Structure 1
């Protein structure tokens, strides 16, 4: 019955939208999606790139998850890592997944993000 993944929702603290926009659009190059008017009043923001869609929703008692994260497939992973480092964003490489280059980082509010690129076809 499941035909695909529509989006991944991450939480964020109230008032963090400007920092999220700067990171997801300015650093990662994602496109901000307009939220439907009925949902816009709740705050937060939505972003997309390629087939990935991330919703960042406002949570009053926000605490970033320590383990849960989206895994975002990328091209030119080394270029992305360099861009993140240029913006002062930490990059932690992990070589434990066979057939992939990958690293983890955090967005401005502490959400864990994984970026990976297959090394085999």
Structure 2
């Protein structure tokens, strides 16, 4: 990949029951995160955890499930344009947003409808 994550500002995202494989396909196979084993005491709750460097995403199971369409994690990325080109090859649609002065940024949605922001400060 022609980009790497620098830091994360915040994160736990919810997903519906039985969605762990979809989460793996998206966060691991497309975004390049590695799966992290959850502590034994938490495994019974379902969900799956991922890490890329110091960035962690915990996908927790929530019923009833409602996607986070406004609230979102924000990832600082180096070579954001490279990431956009990569996402195109994976058929992942993104929406650019130029309303934050000094930032090149876009949004995508995970398979569950959760909003994710990726940005690079200029």
Q: TM (normalized to structure 1)?
A: 0.88
Distance 1:13 1:88 in 2: 23
Deviates more, 1:63-72 or 1:74-83: 74-83
Q: RMSD of the TM alignment (CA)?
A: 1.6
Shift of residue 41 of structure 1? Answer: 1.2
User: Does 2:17 correspond to 1:14?
Assistant: yes
Aligned to 2:33: 30
- Residue pair 1:6, 1:53 contacting (<8 A) in 2 also: no
Partner SS for 2:56: strand
Matches within 5 A, 1:1-121: 8-119=11-122
Unaligned 5+ runs, structure 2: 1-7
Corresponding residue pairs, total:
115
Aligned to 2:4: none
Distance 1:86 1:61 in 2: 33
Unaligned 5+ runs, structure 1: none
Higher relative contact order (CA 8 A, sep 6+): 2
Higher strand share: 2
Q: TM (normalized to structure 2)?
A: 0.87
Distance 1:49 1:30 in 2: 5
